[in-house]
Structure 1
Amino acid sequence: MNRRDWFRLGAIGLKGLIGLVLAVPGAAYLLSPLRKRREDTTDFRRLARLGDLEIGRPRSFSIVDEQRDAWVTYPATPIGTVWLVRQPEGAEQPVLALSAECPHLACKIKLAGDGNGFVCPCHASNFTLDGSRVKAISPRGMDTLEVAPIDPNDPNAEVRVKFQRFRTGTEEKIPLA
């Protein structure tokens, strides 16, 4: 091999090295959504303090969260609503959390005019304060949500709820993935 061949071989090696240096970050960028672990959206969310709720009087709370789609992160927007109903003293759980999505077609459930129950304005389904259906097209009662353990004697105790959605139009309460 003469000098010129060594120079060509060195140039080819240098080009390959430069190409590799540029290709690795590009490939990492393109594959980054696959490497990201999906964040658990079923974490408990703080909605209120126990002292903010009155016994037997429902209050609605919006669930706000960021949405992610591969490389794009969208700003925090409302993704759902939860009704919280403080239970009388001595109840097994001090607070009942109900999804505000109707199990029939996911319309937003509102408080009835008299405040003693809930109503779905889409098809006039009625529910009691515990979420049971009274007069309803809905295939099941309102969906209950898991509430983190609360000390009923502490008015400053945080009410934390695990928000999730459920399949509509079915008699069974099936969580959406």
Structure 2
Amino acid sequence: MTETHSPDATEQANPPRRNFLVKFVAVLVGGVITAVPLVFGGGFILNPLLKKKSSDEDSDGFTFIGSTNSLLPGGPPRSYKVTGAKQDAWTTYSETAIGAVYLKMDEDRSVTAFNASCPHLGCTVNYKSDANAFICPCHDSSFSLDGERSNEIPPRGLDTLNVEVRNDNEIWVKFENFRAGTAEKIPV
């Protein structure tokens, strides 16, 4: 008969030191492998909450649109694309189209700016020279040259924007979008 060696009571009470070290290193490595993705994943998910809004302290909210040389006093309005930085929760898009404005110069050389979005449902209005009016192609909303509504479809007239003429001929507009479908001019 062969005799098998069974561990005695002292070996069972005090496991070998190497066994403890292997278990400790395994738990440590497992913890690091678990923690690294959790930290980076949590940082990615919480980034929009932790990120500060990028705001230029020198910026007064006005965007350069064009020159007064391109407008005729008492002439028809002109459409201009407004570009700027657009930011969603995770990404900032620099110099992308954020909207459009219509500019017109009165006889006294004052400049008026209208947001090109229809206050009815937000479609982009077009200036029709033959009608001498702004017409929305979506639902036939119409507006006179001073931005007042010409029919009862839109809830309010075209939204005016703040305009500044700087350096004698630079047109700067404080571009904002407003909530569509309401009689009040509510910024969004």
Q: Same fold (TM over 0.5)?
A: yes
* Aligned match of 1:160: 172
Q: Normalised by the size of structure 1, how large is the TM-score?
A: 0.72
Q: Matched residue of 1:170: which SS?
A: coil
Partner of 1:150, secondary structure, is strand
User: Who wins on radius of gyration, i.e. which is larger?
Assistant: 2
Which fold has the larger relative contact order, with Cα–Cα distance below 8 Å and residues 6 or more apart in sequence?
1
- Mapping for residues 1-177 of structure 1, pairs under 5 Å: 3-4=17-18, 5-17=20-32, 19-39=34-54, 43-57=61-75, 58-65=77-84, 67-71=86-90, 78-89=97-108, 94-114=110-130, 116-147=132-163, 149-151=164-166, 154-155=168-169, 158-176=170-188
User: Structure 2 length normalisation: TM-score?
Assistant: 0.69
Give the distance between the partners of 2:44 and 2:99, measured in 1 at CA.
32
Give 1:72 deviation, angstroms. Answer: 5.3
**Alignment-mate amino acid for residue 159 of structure 1:** I
Count, aligned residues: 168
5+ residue gaps, structure 1, are none
- Indicate if the aligned counterparts of 1:66 and 1:74 stay in contact, CA closer than 8 A: yes
Question: Residue deviations 1:115-168, cap 9 Å, x none?
Answer: 743223344443222212234422211111122x324x713xx21222222222
Aligned-residue identity in percent = 42
Cα 1:80–1:146 shift into 2, 3 Å = same
Structure 2: gaps spanning 5 or more residues: 1-13
Separation in 2, partners of 1:17, 1:121:
60
